[in-house]
Amino acid sequence: MATKTEDINELSNIISTSVKTYLSHVPAPPTLRPAPPVFVTHEVAIQAKEEILLACRRMISLVEGPFETAVGMGVAFMDTIAMKLAYDMKLAQNVPPDGSSISLAELAAKTGAPEETIVRVMRALTLKDVFVETAPGHFAHTGGSADITAMDPMIGHLTEESFSSGPHVSDVLRENNWAVPEDSRKTAFSRAYNTNKNYFEYVYSDNKPMGTRFGKAMQSMSNAGGPANIVALYTPLESAPKGTTLVDIGGGIGHVAVAAAQKFPNIKCVVQDIGMVVGEGRDGLPEELKGRVEFQENDFLKEQLIGGPGVYYYLRHILHDNPDPACRDILSHIVNVMDSSSRILIDESIVDERMGPDGDKFAVIMDLQMLVMCNSKERTEAQWAALLKSTDERLVVEKVWRGKRGGTGIVEARLA
Ligand SMILES: C[S@@+](CC[C@H](N)C(=O)[O-])C[C@H]1O[C@@H](n2cnc3c(N)ncnc32)[C@H](O)[C@@H]1O
């Protein structure tokens, strides 16, 4: 394992062996050019990819040295500044999507930004292979810069409300003796935006464009990440009896429910949410699913409207938005209407207990994102089980369906 060694020769061997293994199990070698995403699904390739990344991270720590590592983390927000400027100046939208290049003068004319500003931003971005300078003063897309357009709503969410909330996190925690307040209305976000509302209450009433963008951000993340775990992993729905109900609690504009209804022809989906996302989802629903996917306005903190036997209650990226007491409220409303044949499906990160360079980078970043925006967290398998038990002694984990990619999965729970 790469984390066990500080020997750069050994690391270099690990990288070279893992690269060979990786290349022999993926359909095509990775490229920096804009190209449709290739999802790595082969177990061996996934393992090799992790080994490569891990060994490269350790190699960089060793070769760069402690100063670059520590100070580098201190200035990592400069990357966000460069990305924010690219987003706000619409650089990606003004570079030809077909991979050909554009001159600096043309880019300045199209964006209305001075050449000098563009050059400064491009220096930071091209350092990370986001855009490429094809000849002096000429720029073209890489996969990374093309993704700024594909992921536009997510980049906006991250570089605007998340970025401006981040600096407040220390004050929020310091005032609570460094414990995270179990209140989603007293967050770094609520401090940055001077509101007593939680993120969702705020964006669905005081800042609707931000709310619309958030719904699209969730959709763009789903598209980029490959099929949701309910579609990729949860095989019991393949043999579900006709008319089986899947309630997608906090399902946003219905992007996951639509994919689930397409994959499992016997199920019908009810997408529950609050705010204008319900109407936006209804408006965007594909014609052929109109009889099988419906939208319902429902506040999961207040009640669960759908009961009866055999119902699947699906919560994807819902409980990680909420501190434990609110999670217990959400789960107990389900418990009130479910029976022993119903299932709760929690589709979330299942955080690895390991520390160090082989930790799960995505889960670690998401955990801090949840802290900043919601005073909530990503949870380990033990924390999921404890949360269920503390909601209701009868609520037990039936099975954990682990995703192939990274530390995500579905925690399936039932009433004992
Ligand atoms: C992180 S998003 C997840 C969306 C979707 N499940 C997915 O996986 O992409 C959280 C969702 O919870 C919804 N939500 C927030 N508070 C809610 C509440 N009190 N009742 C119902 N839905 C809520 C938001 O509108 C948003 O769609």
Across 411-416, average pLDDT: 96
Strands 132-135 and 102-103: unpaired
Q: What is the tens place of the pLDDT at every residue in 15-62?
A: 999 999 999 999 889 999 998 877 788 889 989 998 999 999 999 999
Pair 244, 167 in one domain = no
pLDDT given at position 394 = 96
Atom 12 in ligand 1: which residue has the minimum CA distance? 250
* Ligand 1 within 6 A of CB of 273: yes
Atom 15 in ligand 1: which residue has the minimum CA distance? 200
* Ligand 1 within 6 A of CB of 260: no
Pair 85, 185 in one domain = no
Pair 261, 236 in one domain = yes
Ligand 1 centroid, distance to 207 Cα (angstroms): 16
Pair 143, 179 in one domain = no
Q: 1 near 13, Cβ under 8 Å?
A: no
Q: What is the tens place of the pLDDT at every residue in 274-313?
A: 978 899 999 999 999 999 999 999 999 999 999 989 999 9
Q: How far apart are CA 217 and CA 97, in angstroms?
A: 21
Atom 19 in ligand 1: which residue has the minimum CA distance? 299
pLDDT value at 226 more than 90: no
Pair 296, 371 in one domain = yes
Q: How far apart are CA 337 and CA 325, in angstroms?
A: 19
pLDDT given at position 182 = 97
Is residue 199 one of the residues assigned to a domain?
yes
Domain end among 110, 130, 150: 150
pLDDT given at position 219 = 86
Domain end among 103, 121, 150: 150
pLDDT given at position 405 = 62
* Ligand 1 within 6 A of CB of 251: yes
- Residue from 120, 121, 119 nearest 136 by CA: 119
Residues marked active site are found at 320
* Ligand 1 within 6 A of CB of 299: yes
* Ligand 1 within 6 A of CB of 375: no
Atom of ligand 1 nearest to the CA of 320: 1
pLDDT given at position 227 = 84
* Ligand 1 within 6 A of CB of 300: yes
Is residue 222 one of the residues assigned to a domain?
no
Q: Which amino acid is at 184?
A: S
Q: At what angle do helices 143-150 and 77-89 cross, to 10 degrees?
A: 60
CA angle, residues 333, 337, 339, in degrees to nearest 5: 125
Q: SS3 for 76?
A: coil
Ligand 1 centroid, distance to 277 Cα (angstroms): 9
Pair 57, 163 in one domain = no
Pair 143, 91 in one domain = yes
Q: SS3 for 411?
A: strand
Atom of ligand 1 nearest to the CA of 299: 20
pLDDT value at 406 more than 80: no
Ligand 1 centroid, distance to 247 Cα (angstroms): 13
pLDDT value at 3 more than 70: no
* Ligand 1 within 6 A of CB of 321: yes
Atom of ligand 1 nearest to the CA of 198: 16
Is residue 286 one of the residues assigned to a domain?
yes
Across 323-351, average pLDDT: 96
Distances (CA, A) of 46 to 43, 87, 135: 5, 31, 36
Q: 190 near 164, Cβ under 8 Å?
A: no
Q: How far apart are the first and last CA of the chain?
A: 40
Q: Which amino acid is at 131?
A: F
Pair 377, 303 in one domain = yes
- What tokens does 311 get? 């119902």
Is residue 69 one of the residues assigned to a domain?
no
Pair 240, 175 in one domain = no
Split into its structural domains, the chain has a count of 4
Atom of ligand 1 nearest to the CA of 222: 9
* Ligand 1 within 6 A of CB of 256: yes
Phi-psi region of 137 (alpha: psi -120 to 50; beta: other; left: phi over 0): left
For the chain, give the percent of residues with pLDDT over 70.
Answer: 99
Phi-psi region of 312 (alpha: psi -120 to 50; beta: other; left: phi over 0): beta
Pair 184, 245 in one domain = no
Lowest mean pLDDT, pick from 2-6, 92-96, 136-140, 265-269 = 2-6
In sequence order, which residues have a C-beta less than 8 Å from that of residue 63 and are 6 or more positions away?
A: 8
Across 243-255, average pLDDT: 95
Is residue 117 one of the residues assigned to a domain?
yes
Ligand 1 centroid, distance to 275 Cα (angstroms): 10
Residues in the chain: 416
Pair 146, 169 in one domain = no
Is residue 70 one of the residues assigned to a domain?
no
Pair 280, 405 in one domain = yes
DSSP labels, 44-61? HHHHHHHHHHHHHHHHHH
Across 312-319, average pLDDT: 97
Domain containing 182 equals 158-217
Ligand 1 centroid, distance to 412 Cα (angstroms): 19
Atom 1 in ligand 1: which residue has the minimum CA distance? 317
Ligand 1 centroid, distance to 240 Cα (angstroms): 25
Ligand 1 centroid, distance to 145 Cα (angstroms): 28
User: Which domain CATH number covers 122?
Assistant: 1.10.10.10
For the chain, give the percent of residues with pLDDT over 90.
Answer: 86
Q: How far apart are CA 152 and CA 307, in angstroms?
A: 38
* E strands present in 250-329: 267-273, 293-297, 312-316
User: Which domain CATH number covers 241?
Assistant: 3.40.50.150
pLDDT given at position 407 = 84
Atom 27 in ligand 1: which residue has the minimum CA distance? 252
Is residue 39 one of the residues assigned to a domain?
yes
pLDDT given at position 236 = 95
pLDDT value at 352 more than 90: no
State the pTM of this model.
0.91
Across 230-258, average pLDDT: 95
Is residue 14 one of the residues assigned to a domain?
yes
Domain end among 64, 88, 109: 64
